[in-house]
Amino acid sequence: MLRNSDNQDRLRHHHADLLIKGGMVATPNGLEMTDVACLDGQIVSMHATGWMADDVIHAKGLHVLPGVIDTQVHFREPGLVHKENFEAGTRGAVLGGITTIFEMPNTSPLTITGEDLLGKLEMATGKGWCDFAFYMGGSDANAERLAELELLPGCAGIKVFMGSSFGDLLAEEDEVLSRILRHGKRRLAVHAEDEARLRERRAIVEASGDVRDHPVWRDEISALRATQRIVSIAQACGRRLHVLHVSTADEMAFLAQHKARVTVEVLPQHLTFCAPECYERLGTLAQMNPPVRDAHHQAALWEAVRDGTVDVLGSDHAPHTLAEKAKPYPQSPSGMPGVQTLLAVMLNHVNQSKLSLERLIDLTSAGPARVFGIESKGRLALGYDADLVLVNLSTRCIITNQSMANVSGWTPYDGMQVTGWPIATVLRGRCVMRDDEMIGLPSGRAVRFLEVPRLVVRQ
């Protein structure tokens, strides 16, 4: 809704804040060569012939796509800012064509109370280059309050760690998981690895000290067992699930049978890297949870992308410093950067004919908006937020450590040539990145959700 009479006059006179001319636009009717007019942060015309604007982007030769929504990032603030911080993380997001992020609760302090969430929202104001929301951690400590907590403005929903976490965020027992799932109604995101099996099998890597054994330790049984358990508990509780970073053929076959109430995420890392080669080349830089696996599992993930089992692509951006990564395995931490490279890596897969551009758009924009009930985002249509990314599908670039915005200063894709690159990023009708350069000041704000009251902003 246009906010004032001046903007209503501008609309009547076809005068926009921003006009994107001559691009191949991903419209609701498919790809069309057209102009897009943006006014007061919204898309006000998809066929803007005869419009004028204060700012014009000539997009001939470019594709104009919905801004990417990355629903799984770890920006480490507060408490772990030597690895990453919110400003650098969101700057990397915008450089990579991402206009909205959901940030995870395993910061210090953990995000498990309303005060924790409010603290993050206050921290992000004036620092966020893109729009943002924050997950609330679901745990034994706050299970009975989750129905209230998940409805707080700026909350992306509840995130549960069945494995690979610590303290109050680790929720591995069925009784605790049932309590969490019975309190609330929004879709719940879960990291599904069986913590008991991981403890039993850690001796394998303690003995070998070989990072190539990472997928042996955290094997497909640990993933499948946890996924089957949480889906069963969710069914008993009548709760919708979103299973994060699925990495195995076994899980995909199982989840394909439960799509009525379960949505699925995959990561570019699991679609791009392959064991054992990545461990031999990158060492602990390829270490993440759940692990990068072999070609059999990767092929199953790609098939699940193509057949619609997969709903969302996320980055699981989780930087650690190079010094931390250099620790002897398995003392080295799991996780790698990825928010800035998500779109470029996947555009390269489009150019390699592994998926269509339309499918990529659904996985990175429409899919996240649909799964999480995001208001006014995820597609280029009248009345939606004017979040766009302009990409050149034929531009060839080499990804380098030096080009990364993240505080830790590295990427597992260092030296990789890709075809397809984000040229400009538009957030709510304002160009915030062009030709790998940031424009203006951070203007991100909290995401609005269909099931959550609006955040009241003091004027």
- Residues annotated as catalytic (active site), given as ranges: 316
Kind plus residue range of the DSSP H or E element containing 64: strand 63-66
Q: Comparing C-alpha atoms, which of 110, 175, 180 is closest to residue 144? A: 180
Q: Are 262 and 286 in contact (CB under 8 A)?
A: no
Instruction: Centre a 10 Å sphere on the Cβ of residue 457 and count the other Cβ atoms it contains.
Output: 9
Dihedral (CA of 33, 39, 41, 42) sign: negative
Q: Given the structure tokens 């410093």, which residue do they identify?
A: 321
- Euclidean distance between CA atoms 206 and 284, whole angstroms: 15
Q: Are 59 and 22 in contact (CB under 8 A)?
A: yes
Instruction: Centre a 10 Å sphere on the Cβ of residue 221 and count the other Cβ atoms it contains.
Output: 13
- Report how far apart the first and last C-alpha atoms of the chain are (Å, whole number): 18
Q: Are 386 and 459 in contact (CB under 8 A)?
A: no
DSSP code at position 37:
E
Dihedral (CA of 400, 285, 355, 57) sign: negative
Q: Comparing C-alpha atoms, which of 13, 43, 18, 46 is closest to residue 32? A: 46
Q: Comparing C-alpha atoms, which of 385, 379, 380 is closest to residue 365? A: 379
Count of alpha carbons within 13 angstroms of residue 324, beta-carbon side: 16
Q: Given the structure tokens 């009930």, which residue do they identify?
A: 373
Q: Which pair of structure tokens corresponds to residue 206?
A: 């303690």
Q: Which pair of structure tokens corresponds to residue 189?
A: 């995101």
Backbone φ and ψ of 229, nearest 5°: -65, -50
Question: What torsion do the CA atoms of 119, 125, 128, 129 make, to the nearest 10 degrees?
Answer: 170
